[in-house]
Structure 1
């Protein structure tokens, strides 16, 4: 079993690189085009692609959660100790903020910013609940039936969810918090964070409840993407 310090570094690194890709590709897109749809497409492709890479390469070390609600789900499934889940969430948030800072540094922008992009309202919150629900459902079903496909499944899901949710599918409290520190294409106003985070947690918990029932007794290897598993 890989020791906890190395797993925490992997979670921080993965979340940081994910946020750097989200924020950096948004900045690059805004620099190269005034077409908002094209900018969103560029942002989408970069995010989906980097997720596949990060989950594939860091998954064997930490489980590649990169997301506090994913860590929460595994803790509730008793596949990750509660104290480890709390530490995962902490380093995910820290890594995410550092990822935003790194993106700003690459584009010679002020390192720390406060976003002014308003993202609020019932439709946005519901979208985030749907986004988190779909992400957790994808992970749990993927682990049950086709573990090796999980990196691709998650990358493809987020790529699609960017476009079918009104919120562009943050689906991740750590990423949402980090995006509050960038006043660029991918930002979110700090005041709007609580609604997003509560919706993400709610969506993840609903997915956990439904998928626990739906997958009960179904066939598959059922190998959790979880470094605590000794098998």
Structure 2
């Protein structure tokens, strides 16, 4: 379907209706101009970041290939984490490969077992611990679980009065482990600049939230 051609002197509103510019409030026109300008610039920056990431990954991989060819080695399989430093030590580039973790339907079984444990401990369990444990299963606004929080439960050792690991908790953790599924890897490129002549490096922010 072809885009609607908007005639001169009109703007299209959110419902798809054409509205004469003369009938639109000045404040609405000003807001429209600001939002459109920022959105346009944001799209350009997003595309530039995408191109930078592709080039950075390609350049790093080319460097690895050159090094491998020098020693007659063949590099294959998963790309690993690398840390590259400029000759003068001023800049550092890190390539990181992180596993993409998802959970199968067995996570629901793990959650039910954990809830049963907390219910059984209700008389003596610390309310803060209950909140910490169950918060791991609370999805964010996008309906996604906090993977780090869920995996963090595996580090908790719940022991009974006899000092042994609680049997029900152990079963819950087994179900949790069985629910973990690796669905691929995500590549990250981070660039750092050395702070003065120290051994510390400052991250060069490439995301809006981190820019001061």
Instruction: Tell me which protein shows more strand as a share of its residues.
Output: 2
Instruction: Calculate the TM-score normalised by the size of structure 1.
Output: 0.21
Structure whose CA Rg is larger: 2
Instruction: Calculate the TM-score normalised by the size of structure 2.
Output: 0.23
Asked which structure has the greater RCO (Cα within 8 Å, sep 6+), the reply is 1
